[in-house]
Amino acid sequence: MKVPTSVVAAAGLVGGYGVARWTKKRPLGGVVLAAAGAVAARQWKDSAGNGAAAALTGAYVAAFAGSHPLAKKVGAWPSVFGVAGAVALASWAVERRA
C-alpha cells in the first residue's frame, strides 16, 4: 500500500525544514524537500495526469518559497505547517477528482 501523495508532499515540506533546522545544514534539508517532491510528482502524474502533476508540483515549489516571507509574520513552524497543509489539501482535492 502506497503512502497518500498528500502525506508525501506535506512530509517533504515539514521534513525538509526540520532536517535543515536540526542539522544546521540547509542543503541537507533541500535534499529531503527535493526527494519528497520527486516522489509526489511521480505519484501525481500516475494518479491525475501530467497537467495536474505540473500544477501540484508548482504549488509545492510555491509553498516552499512562500513559507519564507510568511515565517516573518507568523513564525517558522506555523508557516511550514500552514503551507504543508495547503499543499496536502490541494493534492487530496485534485487526486480525489481524478
pLDDT at 1: 67
Phi, psi dihedrals of residue 76, rounded to the nearest 5°: -65, -55
pLDDT digits (tens, 9 = 90+) for 48-88: 999 999 999 999 999 999 999 999 999 999 999 999 999 99
Do the beta carbons of residue 40 and residue 6 sit within 8 Å?
no
Q: What is the pTM of this model?
A: 0.94
pLDDT band at 98, cuts 50/70/90? confident
Kindly state the average pLDDT of the residues 18-47.
98
